[in-house]
Structure 1
Amino acid sequence: MTTPAGDPRTAPPQVPGPQVPGPQVHDRHPLALALFALTAVSGLIDAVSYLGLGHVFTANMTGNVVVIAFALAGAPGFSVAGSLTSLVAFLAGAVLAGRLAGRYATTRRGRWLRAALVLEVSLHGAAAAVAFARGVDGAAQYTVIALVAVAMGIRNGTVRALAVPDLTTTVLTLTLTGLAADSRLAGGTAPRQRRRVLAVATMLAGALPGAVLVLHGQIAWALVASAVLAGATVLLNRE
């Protein structure tokens, strides 16, 4: 006997993640504050990876796909190997994020987020240690890229599951689109306008000092700063 199409018995088992009331998270909620802080960390990391690690992205995989195309076309200053290293490591981090979501499916959201952030802090710290000990040339450069990309894969996978609108912490394209498309100028009601502006501002607030450190040859200290800020987020998060 065949089972009718659409029968719930034929559906694959679902692994629930921690329940997250994303849309109900207001801007002063502990989770939102943590995500703003992590957006600043992403700005730091983007400065390190793009300016200091050979024009590679470790948080923004759209950028890496485009960079790989540039390198294959022969554009100077771009590396297929570096971007592929970042892409593969990022995917590995996202797999870990999925595993974490399943492991903490029956626990509080705060424990799940802290576990992901502790891994991120550890990986940023390890990358900083490599940069201090070996610099960011040759094999050490790929090691730093991989460590940071795994960290950002964990972050992206976790934040995606948290599903707080306009707080992806790493990508601002949809945030800026919403800011413009939903504005009163466009005939909208400008929902979450403050959140969207703050997301852009915190990314800038992280990228600016990160760029200054990298341009002054202090990549390792920029990685330390990212680890410290992410670590402070762990300690201060009251979720």
Structure 2
Amino acid sequence: MLIKPTQGRTLRLAVVLLVAASGGVEATSFLGLGHVFAGVMTSNLALLGMAAGRGEPLDITAALLALGGFGAGTALVAWYTRASVTSAMHWPRRVLVVLAAEAVLLAAGALVWGLTGGRPGEALRNILQCGAALAMGAQSAAMVAAGKAAAPTTYLTGTLAAYIVQGIGTGSPGLWVPLRFAALVAGAALCAVMLDGARPWALLPSVVFVMCALAVACLSDTRSLSSAGYSS
């Protein structure tokens, strides 16, 4: 079977778009909801400990909602994708279904956020916080299910450490990882700016990024299927 090099690059673009989406969700979650992160559970555990130590029940609630939502999203997708067959050149169909569901979930959150002018009441804010974390948990689990054809999109601390170690060890670290870092910063910056200047629309960029990533991944899947008819 002849595999086209552009298929791998296409999936890398999809990963970069998902990283940008997670950056936007993190910015909106931290700045606009409960001052916790939707996809970075290490930080949320630390925030939970600090809130508990200072006796701040509202902050404890926000951290628990984020942790619970992320855990639920991860568990559901792990169960759904457990029988998926991974490939180095395309994502399993169930991974694509998960990304489509994530886009719908984020779109529903963006609609609620927009209808409230970006200032939801406490009950809606809690629901949105849990929903954002659920979406990030689902995305994280989907990337695990995608195997070597994907990479982490919601937490990049380990990626940064590995990049530094491997870069020093090999002398040729490449641009793939820095592109993900740049996408995270850009997505977060864009949504932070929109929270100040166009608050009701602040969740929309993340929805668009996920939909674009899904479209790119589907394109790569189509190319993979069309290449299967060729022999090396």
Taking structure 1 as reference, are residues 136 and 232 closer, same or farther at Cα in structure 2, changes over 3 Å only? Answer: same
Q: Find the aligned partners of 1:120 and 1:165 in 2 and give their Cα distance.
A: 19
Report if aligned partners of 1:166, 1:174 keep a CA contact under 8 Å in 2. Answer: no
Report if aligned partners of 1:68, 1:78 keep a CA contact under 8 Å in 2. Answer: no
SS at match of 1:57: coil
Residue in structure 1 matched with residue 225 of structure 2 by the alignment? none
Runs of 4+ in structure 1 deviating by more than 4 angstroms, as ranges, are 25-28, 75-78, 103-108
SS at match of 1:45: helix
Aligned pair count reads 211
Q: Find the aligned partners of 1:235 and 1:182 in 2 and give their Cα distance.
A: 32
In the TM superposition, what is the alpha-carbon distance from 1:158 to its structure 2 partner? 1.1
Residue in structure 2 matched with residue 195 of structure 1 by the alignment? 176
Q: For structure 2, which runs of at least 5 residues remain unmatched after alignment?
A: 222-232
| Partner deviation per Cα, 1:43-63 (whole Å, 9 max, x = no partner) | 111110111112111111111
**Structure in which a larger fraction of residues adopt helix:** 2
Equivalent runs, 1:67-78 vs 2, <5 Å: 67-74=47-54
Report if aligned partners of 1:55, 1:77 keep a CA contact under 8 Å in 2. Answer: no
Q: Does 1:54 align with 2:34?
A: yes
Residue in structure 2 matched with residue 133 of structure 1 by the alignment? 115
Taking structure 1 as reference, are residues 123 and 50 closer, same or farther at Cα in structure 2, changes over 3 Å only? Answer: same
CA RMSD of aligned residues (A): 2.6
Q: For structure 1, which runs of at least 5 residues remain unmatched after alignment?
A: 1-24
Letter in 2 for 1:63: S
In the TM superposition, what is the alpha-carbon distance from 1:128 to its structure 2 partner? 1.0
TM (norm. structure 2) is: 0.81
Residue in structure 2 matched with residue 234 of structure 1 by the alignment? 214
SS at match of 1:171: coil
Q: Find the aligned partners of 2:144 and 2:74 in 1 and give their Cα distance.
A: 10
TM (norm. structure 1) is: 0.79
Q: Find the aligned partners of 2:16 and 2:198 in 1 and give their Cα distance.
A: 27
Letter in 1 for 2:123: A
Q: Find the aligned partners of 1:157 and 1:66 in 2 and give their Cα distance.
A: 22
Give me the identity figure in percent.
28
Taking structure 1 as reference, are residues 177 and 26 closer, same or farther at Cα in structure 2, changes over 3 Å only? Answer: farther
In the TM superposition, what is the alpha-carbon distance from 1:126 to its structure 2 partner? 1.0
Q: Does 1:211 align with 2:153?
A: no
Letter in 2 for 1:204: V
Report if aligned partners of 2:52, 2:60 keep a CA contact under 8 Å in 1. Answer: yes
Letter in 1 for 2:95: L
Q: Find the aligned partners of 1:191 and 1:101 in 2 and give their Cα distance.
A: 34
Q: Find the aligned partners of 1:58 and 1:129 in 2 and give their Cα distance.
A: 18
Taking structure 1 as reference, are residues 60 and 206 closer, same or farther at Cα in structure 2, changes over 3 Å only? Answer: same
Q: Does 1:154 align with 2:138?
A: yes
